[in-house]
Amino acid sequence: MNILIKEMSLFMGSYCEQSCICCRDKIMDKDCFEQCYSYTGIGPDIPRTLWEADGVVSTSGTLVLEVTELTDGNLDILLNGVSQGLTLDLNDSIVITSDVLNSIVIRPSASNVDVTVDLCLNVSYECC
């Protein structure tokens, strides 16, 4: 699995478009997903899933994650169930590209934390 990670400050603007790519005997489809998530009183014992492939085949993609509220500690990012060794603080944003992408999860480092994150995801997957 190859993962490219870039830390940067981004405006979470809308740039979504859907397209279809033909790759030899596979047809790859592409979708964009944007969502704001808010959680109250959460902790490290129960990670929060932001996105899951849910049976979609051959997923890959680029995600932008921005932390807009964080009352304590920082956030750990888990891709495909594995911590990326990255922590985000309040007002941090990150861009990650992964050639295998099955789930995106956040886990706060402290207990009883209020968290708001914006997620923008461009995902490609096998269509037919």
What are the structure tokens assigned to 108, written together?
A: 């706060």
Average of per-residue pLDDT across 69-90 = 94
Question: pLDDT-derived band of residue 58, with 50, 70 and 90 as boundaries?
Answer: confident
End-to-end CA distance of the chain: 23
Three-state secondary structure call for residue 84? strand
User: From its phi and psi, is residue 91 left (phi > 0), alpha (psi between -120 and 50) or beta?
Assistant: left
Instruction: Note the pLDDT tens digit of each residue in 85-110.
Output: 989 999 999 999 999 999 999 999 99
The confidence band for 19, taking pLDDT boundaries of 50, 70 and 90, is: low
Q: pLDDT class for 10, splitting at 50, 70, 90?
A: very low
Give the chain's mean pLDDT.
Answer: 84
Using DSSP, state whether 90 is helix, strand or coil: coil
